[in-house]
Amino acid sequence: MAKLLGLALLAWLAVGCGGGSDASKDVVPGDDTGVGDVFPDAGPYEDTVNLNITSVWADPATGLVWQDPPAEDHMYWVTAKQYCEDVEGDGHSDWRLPTVGELRTLLRGCPATITAGTCNVDDDDCLLTACADATCAGCTEDDLPDSGCFRPAELNGACDWFWSSSADGAGGDAWAVDFLYSTVYSDDGSHAANIRCVHD
């Protein structure tokens, strides 16, 4: 009996308390395999997604205004781009999914991946997957700032990976930034990730 209870507990932990993103919050209707598609189109975001941004954070270093906290739902890349184009708030309707360069302006405490760091991924010069050298892997948890995340302490939300609007120069992947490790990397767009919209 104790063995059965132990197995049941392990199964519950694996399903109900697993790490990573909360699958119940992933906005991923339709086929998520991406087979045959460069970027899988998960379809429109669900009707329950809030399109009204009520709180923002203005970065004094860049002047960019960020959705804060980020979107409640995780989304595929194509859906994320549409979501940011559709949101309104802060007196603006010109929100967008940030470029990888704009997301990198939010990185703090990791010299390799901050803006002008040694990571070569850049909106103006290089968006090919080959541009991501070893320095784009970022830093370790041992290097974390006191806030526990490689981003401004004022920002709210998950310390996780966020989509950018920047597509790989070859057209096969999209760029993302992970704020837990300060990593700049590309993904095929078939995974649901966090979204933080921006406007000028």
For residue 52, name the pLDDT band (cuts at 50, 70, 90).
confident
Are 86 and 51 in contact, with CB atoms under 8 Å apart? yes
Lowest mean pLDDT among 9-13, 95-99, 158-162: 9-13
Are 148 and 159 in contact, with CB atoms under 8 Å apart? yes
What average pLDDT score do residues 45-68 get?
Answer: 87
Given the DSSP bridges, would you call strands 65-67 and 74-75 parallel, antiparallel or unpaired? Answer: unpaired
Are 161 and 178 in contact, with CB atoms under 8 Å apart? yes
What is the rounded distance in angstroms from the CA atom of residue 26 to the CA atom of residue 82? 15
What average pLDDT score do residues 80-104 get?
Answer: 95
Amino acid at 88: E
